[in-house]
Structure 1
Amino acid sequence: MIVLVVALVAVSGGDDEPGRSPTSPGTRPTTGETPASGEPQEESGPRGDVRITACEVDEANQWARADLTITNRSGKASNYVVQVEFVDASGTRLGEALAAANKVAPGQKVETAAQGLDRITTDVTCRITDVTRLAS
């Protein structure tokens, strides 16, 4: 099913803005650069629709997981594909995962998760590497 979603995204393109912005060390994400006031700035486009709410490695199966909240800030019902990477304290990439949410209405919030399948035995930081939003 995820392969189908990825294929659809590759063929259809998306309405996200160029550039990638990794975020969210630990369980509390940051959203862009912090100005002199110390307040984080809101990101624009599809990337700003996604927040990491938790980032952890399951002790039982040693798979990393990023819990996500997606808020559709566009004016159309949309489908989302979110790519997440898991890195260690030195920034070395240990794994990756995808999450998807379909038919998210304008203003609606949905919760989903990006579940990795790589065995990881250390603490991780979750980073969103790409967000694709397509009108549904």
Structure 2
Amino acid sequence: MSQPQYPPPSGPPQPGWGAPPAPKKSGAGKIVGFGCLGIVLLFVLFAIIAVAASSGGGGDDPKPGASMASADAPGRHGDDGAKEASAGPSGDVKLIACEIEAFTTWPSAKLTITNRSSKTSNYMVQVEFVDAKGTRISEGFAGTNNLRPGQSAQEVAQGTAEATGKVTCRVTDVTRYAS
């Protein structure tokens, strides 16, 4: 008696016919894709906030309810004025306006940074925003790079918390280093 002959299977090999099982798909591609999309959306959000912050005020005059503190007081510890205002990097920063942005209701400080040193320099300026009771609302930073001796730059330090009422802006720290 002879063995019955069956035709070979047609099409791709099926599991159980000696072929390895099909590889399982991982979600790594989706994770990377959505991660990149999230980063791009985050940059777009920051760009929108930056544009809104820079176009918020109509002029250099502070808005009603906002006030300025002198940027000439060097240091963050309330110097009693014994030092000359133009001494050191804190004398290179002048507070022009202190306002609450209409769109975000965040405080902002407009600054003029003038390099009074003899070398091209980079600046980092820290500003604190304080309410009428003296409580810190927020802080902001402004900076500029490669400022030549005698050259000035207009910069904005933006707070990141909502503010209402009277707000005072204070330059609390200025760092200058040769670029």
**Same topology, TM > 0.5:** yes
Give the drift of 1:34: 6.5
* TM-score when normalising by structure 2: 0.55
Give the drift of 1:26: 2.3
Q: What is the distance in 2 between the residues matched to 1:111 and 1:94?
A: 23
Name which structure has the greater RCO, CA cutoff 8 Å, separation 6+.
Answer: 1
CA gap 1:30/1:95 in 2 versus in 1, 3 angstroms: closer
Residue 107 of structure 1 corresponds to: 150
Encode CA deviations 1:3-61: one digit per residue, 9 max, x unaligned. Answer: xxxxxxxxxxxxxxxxxxxxxx92473524569xxxxx523100000011000011221
* TM-score when normalising by structure 1: 0.72
* Of 47, 56, 76, the match for 2:99: 56
What is the RMSD computed on CA atoms of the aligned residues?
A: 1.9
Residue 77 of structure 1 corresponds to: 120
Q: What is the distance in 1 between the residues matched to 2:141 and 2:81?
A: 27
CA gap 1:30/1:110 in 2 versus in 1, 3 angstroms: closer
**How many residue pairs are counted as aligned between the two chains?**
107
Encode CA deviations 1:79-123: one digit per residue, 9 max, x unaligned. Answer: 000000000112110000000100000011110000111111222
What is the DSSP-based 3-state SS (H/G/I as helix, E as strand, rest coil) of the residue aligned with 1:48? helix
TM alignment of 1:5-84, pairs within 5 A: 26-27=67-68, 29=70, 31-32=72-73, 42-84=85-127
- Note the residue ranges of structure 2 that are not aligned, 5 or more in a row: 1-65, 74-79
Q: What is the distance in 1 between the residues matched to 2:146 and 2:175?
A: 13
- Tell me which protein shows more helix as a share of its residues: 2
% identity of equivalent residues: 50
Larger radius of gyration between Structure 1 and Structure 2 = 2
What is the DSSP-based 3-state SS (H/G/I as helix, E as strand, rest coil) of the residue aligned with 2:90? helix
After TM superposition, the runs of 4+ consecutive aligned structure 1 residues lying more than 2 A away are 25-35
